[in-house]
Structure 1
Amino acid sequence: MRWWRGYVTDDVRWALFQVRQSTVVSLANCPVLPAILRGHALRGARVRVGSAALVYGGQIIQGRGTLRLGAGSFVNHGCYFDTVADIRVGDGVFLADHVRVLTSTHEIGGPTRRAGRLVGRPVSIGAGTWVGSGAVIMPGVRIGPGCIIGANALVTKDCDRDGVYVGSPARRVRSLDG
């Protein structure tokens, strides 16, 4: 690390990246921008979209990782993507409103600061999955293809394919035909 007028150079670069990313996200959230174009407008925020992906407004995207949205995916209003690590959303995934996908957490620190070093763990959501309103997907989780995640579920562990998961923490309550 190099010091510059009391600041760590990496901190200055990170701050500049955050300004750029939040500006791109704010502009892309313009209500007159069609959902079919919003994903492409978010490229400057490290978002990559497949064909015919629909991204509605009010998104928040923060971090240096990449958000990849598969072909035909749907992202409803007000979703939050913590991209400290990468997030992969498969083809045909539907994310309801206010879904939160988190990739960062902290190691446990000492008694004077319990939130220790920041760590990122990638998240993947398998093709064809439907994530209900207000669900939270925690760092490092892999959701298999064809799942349904219930509204307001807290997904703390991997989800096997073709299952319905509900609750806090989310648990499998039913199998679906594959």
Structure 2
Amino acid sequence: MTLLDASKTRPRGGGPSFSLGNRLFRVAWMLGWLLLARYTPPPLHGWRRQVLRLFGAKVGPGARVHASVSIWHPRNLELGERVLVGPGARIYNQGRIVIGPDSVISQRAHLCASSHDVNDPLFQLVLRPVTIGRQCWVAAEAFVGPGVTMANRSVLGARGVLLRDTDEDGIYSGNPAQLLKRRALRQT
């Protein structure tokens, strides 16, 4: 993906941050999702997986993405096996977002893989990938910020704001999210 230099394109004045090809692809993507997936019934997860793959997402078997999910760029998305992305979740993946197997992104959660260089007077866009490990849970309306890695089996509580990497099995909550305790997983 071609990220443009803010000193040349002046995005704060209305100029683009991405190439024309990127912008045209996203228009096609938004129309494709709207026409092919946005209004599909909840059980049609297999169909929505195919639509995502058609537009370049890597989607594992059994992944379930609800029709009301917002995905900025499917080519920057990788979903592991049996991932669940709940209703109204926002995947703002200008940068790459990877969600590991058996993880849950709950309703209206927000994953964001970009920011701006605060030391640049033009606020140059910076892409910072987000990685969600296996068996993680991002609860309702929580936010995972740019460059964050959630370690395997970690949890971010409802409306939490995660700006730093987590430890395995950690349960985090608050704004900014803090470690509350460790998961004590039962044997199944």
Give TM-score, length-normalised by structure 1: 0.86
Contact persistence 2:52–2:59 (CA under 8 A): no
Match of 1:29 in 2: 38
- SS at structure 2 position matched to 1:128: coil
Q: Which segments of structure 1 move beyond 6 Å, counting only runs of 4 or more?
A: none
Contact persistence 2:58–2:75 (CA under 8 A): no
Identity %: 27
Displacement, 1:170? Answer: 0.6
Amino acid at match of 2:45: A
- SS at structure 1 position matched to 2:31: helix
For the residues of structure 2 that align with 1:63 and 1:119, how far apart are their CA atoms? Answer: 16
Match of 1:92 in 2: 102
Amino acid at match of 1:134: E
Match of 1:14 in 2: 22
**What are the superposed Cα offsets for residues 9-49 of structure 1, whole Å, 9 maximum, x if unpaired?**
x7432321121121122222222371233122112443221
For the residues of structure 1 that align with 2:56 and 2:164, how far apart are their CA atoms? Answer: 26
For the residues of structure 2 that align with 1:65 and 1:154, how far apart are their CA atoms? Answer: 25
Amino acid at match of 1:92: D
RMSD between superposed Cα atoms in Å = 2.1
**Unpaired segments ≥5 residues, structure 2:** 5-14
**Unpaired segments ≥5 residues, structure 1:** 2-6
Amino acid at match of 1:170: A
Match of 1:57 in 2: 67
Displacement, 1:64? Answer: 7.1
Give TM-score, length-normalised by structure 2: 0.82
Q: Which moved more, 1:131-140 or 1:27-36?
A: 27-36
For the residues of structure 2 that align with 1:100 and 1:126, how far apart are their CA atoms? Answer: 16
Of 151, 155, 158 in structure 1, the residue corresponding to residue 162 of structure 2 is 155
